[in-house]
Chain A
Amino acid sequence: MATTPRSGGSGSGAAQRPNGTSQNKSCQFKLVLLGESAVGKSSLVLRFVKGQFHEYQESTIGAAFLTQTICIEDTVVKFEIWDTAGQERYHSLAPMYYRGAQAAIVVYDIQNQDSFQRAKTWVKELHKQASPNIVIALAGNKADLSNIRVVEFDEAKQYAEENGLLFMETSAKTGMNVNDIFLAIAKKLPKNDNNQGSVIKPNGNEPTQTTNNCCK
């Protein structure tokens, strides 16, 4: 289950650990996955981080944490991914994770209209509650089953454009678009060095503050 950041890398060709002498810039981003339960959030991350796919993925409790590092041009981007649980009872946890996140992927199941509606409410919540310059991507998962789709590509695409989201239909099973969507997010994220400090900092400090707020 638990992975160290270095153990993966086989699935994503771009993933590469920086070596000590490299003069590449390096950035670290906190990314959160949101969406209804059983839309394939954990599978998506598993495909991205380890290149694996389990037909019967256990449901996530609370939230899971994974890291993955990729290279874009001369920048090393390290993703700290919080894969939240989709079940309704864990909904109250989500703000802890998307607060202070630089990127979010909202996932829905293309066979499930409800999950798409849920995704929309997530997007709304993110716009309202999350940091204003958060990069949001919308992922229509299970694209390998497009023959029995319910949510049309165009409908989702249109919604994404209206709300300024990145959009891709993905399949954790086949690996389609999985790396691409993470790469797209990485590209869209600000990577200049000046930003780096402010990028890393909230990761270290803000979560503790939010915890204090919510638990007191």
Chain B
Amino acid sequence: MLFLLAAEGGESEHNPIIPIWQEIVVGTVAFAVLCFVLMKFVFPRMEQTFQARVDAIEGGIKRAEAAQAEANQLLEQYRAQLAEARTDAAKIRDDARADAEGIRQDILAKAREESDRVIQAGKDALAAERATIVRELRAEVGTIAVDLASKIVGESLADEARRKGTVDRFLSGLESTGAR
């Protein structure tokens, strides 16, 4: 079509496929100016902005990750502390329980000891009293019996009885009979 047109416009002084040199000069200068301004002042700044944007986004992600990590660490720490506190509490409770048990045992033992002691003291006292009474009774019964026999027999048997241990034998006989 181009050549057809060129052929048709044969009488024309213009050939569209031949560049006009003045236009080449103007176009070169104008395009050079455009390239200089845009490639020096605009597009490098756009690259910088893109880079800054990438950095901002990646920095944000990084910060978020750091915060997340810190939060996780704190959570772990709190969990550990909580577990420790629980263990401590359990230990304290166990100790307290053990202490209470010990104290109870002590008190029981002391009470038992005390009661044993009281019972023993009572028994001892009773035994001592009984022995005293028995001793007194023995002496008195002997004396009364001898006196009574003396009165009945009319003579003093006291020396005789003492000498032969009659009363004692009799009383021993009585005791063994009573014991039986």
Q: Indicate whether A and B interact.
A: no
B residues within 8 Å of A by Cβ?
A: none
